[in-house]
Structure 1
Amino acid sequence: MRRTGKIISMALLATAAVACAPSTAGGGPSAAATAKALPGPSLDADADLVALVAAAKKEGSVLVYDSSGDIEEVAKAFTAKYGIAMEGVKSDTPQTAEKMTREHAADNVTIDAAMYEDGGVLVGQLAPQGVTQTWIPGDLKDQIPAENQNPLLALSKATVFGYNTRLSPGGCPVKNVWDLTDPEWSGKLVMQDPLGKPTVLSFFTQLDAYGNQKLEQAFQAKYGKPLKTEEKSAALEWIKRLSLNKPVLTGSDEDISAAVGAPAATDKKIGFMSISKFRNNEDKGYHQAACEGMTPFVGFSYPKYAAIAAKSRHPNAAKLFVHFIMSEEGVKHEIGEGGISGNSTVKPLVTPPGLSDWQGQLFHTDPKGLLGDLRNRQAMSDFWRVNRS
């Protein structure tokens, strides 16, 4: 079974804190407004796929890092199609970014391309520092919406609130995200530790930037009165209450899935986990579904970007990988359990039970707020840590 490790590199976060000092506000829009412009993407307007394949074969191999073990399946398919040895390595995004930065500085590059879930580090550090570059295949450009081109969005995945369908046959026992802050659910939410999971931290900062109105409305719907808080926003109040309600923190989505949906489970728990873990229903006989109808969202979507190492030793093979992952043939291995390709012509293959409306049920990461995510990460980490202690 493919598993994704979740150990964060504190050294990289420290670098991020120095490069982009965090503010105490949760503002994504204001941070984005002052963002330094990204280097423009490289576009082969007259790209010849046949010529690219031939050049890639001369280079002989390509090494790609990804936070998901799904990259191993992509590598097998790539090699089978083109006869070029591709190695796909599962590595946490912070560790990948740190390794690529060090290799770039030492002029000793081994990683040719990478798939990044941490858009903040990509747009705030790696691309502006010249460590990575964005390449868009000319023959696919018209299939990739403009907002997905820089950085290049390969696909979107999701993390959702899920429950055990055997223990709760009538549906998810949680109807509102504020329910998870009530004493009834103390110690019964299982989630990854945000301090070791950049996508969860980004969800928190994005929620503070763009989700306050919906959270206030959800509070009003649940309690019948307006939210009153001493915090600067409804998002911060929800995050604080969530942390104070003693969620069980893990280092992997696999552990969350086991705690919630395993056949032997006897205690009703809610898991905040990647939709990729719904494969356990078939693979392990788990009983899991997303909390359909949960107010104001069932979970959040997050982007995964494709980038090429600027000093790649196999630049044509790296470009060919990007072309492959932007096609249905390549990306299907990453969105097999649910997800949306950055190529508008590639339709979703499946969605996990309970997530029937990707657009309407999820809180969506706004790419305009990626730099704000990076700038506010340390402040959000400190906020979580203080309230958790």
Structure 2
Amino acid sequence: MKMKKLFALLLTAAMVLSLVACGGGNDTAAGTGDGGEDAAASELTLGYDFATDTEHFGPVYDEWSDLTDDELYAKVQEEGGTITVYATSSKMLKVVEPFLEDYPGLDVDVMDLDSDEVLSKAEMEHDSGNITADVLQTKDVNGAVFYEHYQTGIFEPYYPTDICSHIDEDLLKYSLPLYSSQSFWYYNTAAFPDGQPITSWWNIIEKNDDGSQKYQIFCKEIGTETAYLSLFASFIVNADQMEQAYEDIYGEPLEYTYDASDFAFEVPENNAGVEYMWRFSQLKMTFIDDGDELALAVHNSTADKPALALASAGKIENRDASGYDIAWCIGLTPYTALLNCESLFVAAGCDNPAGARLFIRYVLGGADGTAAGYEPFQKEGNWPVRDDMTNDKNPAQLDELGAIENDFGAIYSIFADCQDMWTYWLNQNPNM
């Protein structure tokens, strides 16, 4: 869905667009009020319930939530069949062997797919009624998964009570998270031995006294990367924070230079996030699709020609594996990144509902966080979301990164307009 009233959306986001919840595997629970007062008490309401004039933010607990591993195992043995997993990480394949050792007699099939394939296959299976998948792993960065697959009943919620008691409830609003990951700006540690050269997003677009660009910028094309464009959209939503960050650095009010009248849809005047997108879109940038090559570009840069590259946190592995002089820039103002989470879902109407939930519990580390299923995901650049688990491979813990939680309601509603603005302005860039 593409909205063409950006300013109005920004004004009403807190009141209307954030009326979201996790839940529901059937059409009567899709937040339309179709269930009415006769809806069964066990139905999970999504978003705003007009019948009761209430809103619900996840998590949603149901009859599955309190079942133990042993109780689920017994049900899985009754179900029979193969637990089929559509995963976006090849690391999920490494979960199969220990899972089958701990739960003999079961059968698991993991398919390693990209995110678009997971979503499209799940949608086609749901629409045809021929559902193969039981467990679905994917990442939502702009609300599309939540609104177009979760709220529509293609995915259904599962919130195990004991495990969720160890996860910040704010991270449970839209899904059950497996781990968190971000994209960071990388800098060259040899060029900047005293530490990261930037402390704010505004520093990234600074110019030298002669008007030349201060940093070489390497990144994927922002307009085609949903995660990156969602981050830029968040600056528009949080314009007051962006404006304050500018004033804190430079000691004077931000000057607005973009033309809001360029577009057929309404763009807010004097929005610091829009101003940032405009200025960034006019930089000289080198677009590189491969994350490892982005890391290499930073490694090859010098103090005389300093570079910054935006890439996933996991690309830090090149530092040890290939000897790259690279490190993350964290603690940026107004915030470093969005807390994007890989999440686990149950396919609505699947053949193995107990098996799906047992496997999900195992991947999340089980009741006490010690199950072997989480071990493959303990890599540098991934952060556990459970408060009883840590990843010692990371130099900074999740609460030290300066990242914020994603507001899917606001981001989803302005995402298409942000993409239009970025594309239009990028086409005007004289440096590209």
Give me the TM-score of the superposition, normalised by structure 2.
Answer: 0.74
Compared with structure 1, are the counterparts of its residues 294 and 46 closer, same or farther at alpha carbon in structure 2 (3 Å cutoff)?
closer
1:241 alignment counterpart = 279
Q: Does 1:140 align with 2:163?
A: yes
Compared with structure 1, are the counterparts of its residues 204 and 156 closer, same or farther at alpha carbon in structure 2 (3 Å cutoff)?
same
Compared with structure 1, are the counterparts of its residues 285 and 272 closer, same or farther at alpha carbon in structure 2 (3 Å cutoff)?
same
Give the AA of the match of 1:38.
Answer: L
Please point out which of 209, 217, 242 is paired with 1:189: 217
Verify the 8 A CA contact 1:153 1:303 in the aligned structure 2.
yes
Q: Does 1:226 align with 2:253?
A: yes
SS at match of 1:271: strand
CA distance in structure 1 between the aligned counterparts of 2:68 and 2:363, rounded to whole angstroms: 17
CA distance in structure 1 between the aligned counterparts of 2:177 and 2:82, rounded to whole angstroms: 23
Structure with higher RCO (Cα < 8 A, 6+ apart): 1
CA deviations 1:132-161 (Å, max 9, x no partner) are 001122443433444344422222212111
Give the AA of the match of 2:234.
Answer: Q
Q: More deviation in 323-332 or 52-61?
A: 52-61
Give the AA of the match of 1:244.
Answer: Q
Once the two structures are superposed, the pairs formed by residues 110-259 of structure 1 within 5 Å of their partners are: 110-118=132-140, 120-150=143-173, 151-183=175-207, 184-185=212-213, 188-210=216-238, 212-229=239-256, 230=258, 231-259=269-297
RMSD: 2.9
The structural deviation recorded for 1:106 is 1.0
The structural deviation recorded for 1:54 is 4.1
Verify the 8 A CA contact 2:383 2:397 in the aligned structure 1.
no
The structural deviation recorded for 1:265 is 5.4
Give the AA of the match of 1:95.
Answer: E
Q: Does 1:24 align with 2:32?
A: no
CA distance in structure 1 between the aligned counterparts of 2:4 and 2:80, rounded to whole angstroms: 42
Q: More deviation in 74-83 or 221-230?
A: 74-83
1:316 alignment counterpart = 354
Compared with structure 1, are the counterparts of its residues 146 and 225 closer, same or farther at alpha carbon in structure 2 (3 Å cutoff)?
closer
Q: More deviation in 111-120 or 89-98?
A: 89-98
Give the AA of the match of 1:51.
Answer: E
2:130 alignment counterpart = 108
Give the AA of the match of 2:230.
Answer: S
Q: Does 1:342 align with 2:413?
A: no
Once the two structures are superposed, the pairs formed by residues 292-331 of structure 1 within 5 Å of their partners are: 292=330, 294-327=332-365, 328=369, 329-331=372-374
Verify the 8 A CA contact 1:175 1:293 in the aligned structure 2.
yes
Compared with structure 1, are the counterparts of its residues 63 and 284 closer, same or farther at alpha carbon in structure 2 (3 Å cutoff)?
farther
Compared with structure 1, are the counterparts of its residues 69 and 242 closer, same or farther at alpha carbon in structure 2 (3 Å cutoff)?
farther
The structural deviation recorded for 1:66 is 3.5
Compared with structure 1, are the counterparts of its residues 286 and 313 closer, same or farther at alpha carbon in structure 2 (3 Å cutoff)?
farther
The structural deviation recorded for 1:95 is 3.5
Structure 2: runs of 5+ lacking an equivalent:
21-30, 32-44, 48-59, 259-268, 428-432
1:38 alignment counterpart = 46
Compared with structure 1, are the counterparts of its residues 64 and 246 closer, same or farther at alpha carbon in structure 2 (3 Å cutoff)?
farther
1:6 alignment counterpart = none
Compared with structure 1, are the counterparts of its residues 298 and 128 closer, same or farther at alpha carbon in structure 2 (3 Å cutoff)?
closer
Compared with structure 1, are the counterparts of its residues 149 and 294 closer, same or farther at alpha carbon in structure 2 (3 Å cutoff)?
closer
Compared with structure 1, are the counterparts of its residues 95 and 251 closer, same or farther at alpha carbon in structure 2 (3 Å cutoff)?
farther
CA deviations 1:289-327 (Å, max 9, x no partner) are 112454444433212221111022332221112112322
Once the two structures are superposed, the pairs formed by residues 81-92 of structure 1 within 5 Å of their partners are: 81-83=102-104, 84-92=106-114
Compared with structure 1, are the counterparts of its residues 191 and 41 closer, same or farther at alpha carbon in structure 2 (3 Å cutoff)?
farther
Identity %: 20
1:98 alignment counterpart = 120
The structural deviation recorded for 1:172 is 2.4
The structural deviation recorded for 1:185 is 4.0
The answer to which structure has the higher helix fraction is: 1
Give the AA of the match of 2:347.
Answer: A
1:5 alignment counterpart = none
CA distance in structure 2 between the aligned counterparts of 1:255 and 1:62, rounded to whole angstroms: 37
The structural deviation recorded for 1:238 is 1.0
Verify the 8 A CA contact 1:38 1:127 in the aligned structure 2.
no
CA distance in structure 2 between the aligned counterparts of 1:122 and 1:190, rounded to whole angstroms: 28
Give me the TM-score of the superposition, normalised by structure 1.
Answer: 0.82
SS at match of 2:6: coil
CA distance in structure 2 between the aligned counterparts of 1:74 and 1:271, rounded to whole angstroms: 32
CA distance in structure 1 between the aligned counterparts of 2:270 and 2:114, rounded to whole angstroms: 32
The structural deviation recorded for 1:222 is 3.3
SS at match of 1:362: coil
CA deviations 1:262-286 (Å, max 9, x no partner) are xx55553211111111122222222
If you compute each CA radius of gyration, which structure gives the higher value, 1 or 2?
2
CA distance in structure 1 between the aligned counterparts of 2:180 and 2:122, rounded to whole angstroms: 23
Compared with structure 1, are the counterparts of its residues 135 and 293 closer, same or farther at alpha carbon in structure 2 (3 Å cutoff)?
closer
How many residues end up aligned between the 2 structures? 363
Compared with structure 1, are the counterparts of its residues 48 and 359 closer, same or farther at alpha carbon in structure 2 (3 Å cutoff)?
closer
CA distance in structure 1 between the aligned counterparts of 2:194 and 2:342, rounded to whole angstroms: 34
Verify the 8 A CA contact 1:186 1:246 in the aligned structure 2.
no
Compared with structure 1, are the counterparts of its residues 170 and 144 closer, same or farther at alpha carbon in structure 2 (3 Å cutoff)?
closer
